[in-house]
Structure 1
């Protein structure tokens, strides 16, 4: 959450000449409302069900193997989503340190319903808990201080087997 998945994914897709899909944007378009409204009107469980369905649908599409996709930071909380992604895609974990993430917090709280109404201590616990879940990946790329172009270059290096 808040690591820059969409901007980095778009930059990476452009450099690799591949299509890009943001699962959150797909859900927002289908539901004709932002994620924050889905959370308010239907709750997190309903959103997570939609998220799981869209990820599974997208990954089963014949062209998905050739695309760069961004899944929301909470998607991997669902074991089924983790399994689907780990088996059917190359999962790249965009790691952002707590310190760097904290610098983005003011911007993130507004658009991330899971952060609404939480104390900084609760947010830190959420961040720490998710790090364990995010340990399931094929590649880990730290994006602290990198712009989307630099981060996408770092991902390409990782995919090419260069040290990062």
Structure 2
């Protein structure tokens, strides 16, 4: 049997999680640039591989199919790649297999924001582009927001992004990562 060795902290993928519209893609691109790493937006990668948009996948093949493809891709990226910045879709991290792979093989950052901030600042920007929001009342969306918090609570580090510009949030993540590297792997 082959013995698995732990992935050095400096080589682990950095994984951004959080509610839809939190800024994972924008912030992830900035973090990737600052750390000279490749950036992978999981939703965009699924769209590329499937040859259709996420709303089209939901409409034509259903959410269960989408979640299966999403789970397989994320687990593969977590276990078979290094030195990447990954941005997960808002619902991806709800899947236990995804959480386990991310926590075991990456450094997971939760981009946290308050319901009030999200509702006022982010919802108007994304409401028409997210299949999960389709035909939902504000109360149902609020319930979804708070239901997901328990999954998001399982992370390595948290950045509260209310009122932060994307650049500021990216800087906080990079500073946290460099601190982790210095503390846990000082001689690398």
Report the TM-score range of the alignment, normalised by the length of the smaller protein. Answer: over 0.9
Match of 2:130 among 112, 115, 121: 112
The equivalences for 1:4-153 within 5 A come to: 4-61=23-80, 64-103=81-120, 104-153=122-171
Moved over 4 A (4+): none
Any unmatched runs of 5+ in structure 1? none
Q: What does residue 22 of structure 2 align with?
A: 3
Give me the TM-score of the superposition, normalised by structure 2.
Answer: 0.82
- Taking only aligned residues, the RMSD between alpha carbons, in angstroms, comes to 1.2
Structure 1 distance, partners of 2:36, 2:153, is 28
Distance, in Å, in 2 between the alignment partners of 1:112 and 1:76 is 16
Cα displacement (A) at 1:159: 2.1
Equivalent residues, number: 160
Aligned to 2:173: 155
1:109 Cα shift?
A: 1.5
Displacement, 1:60? 2.6
- Secondary structure in 1 aligned to 2:127? helix
Q: Identify, as 1 or 2, the structure richer in strand.
A: 2
The structure in which a higher percent of residues are helix is 1
Contact 2:75 2:97 in 1 (8 A): no
TM-score normalised per structure 1: 0.93
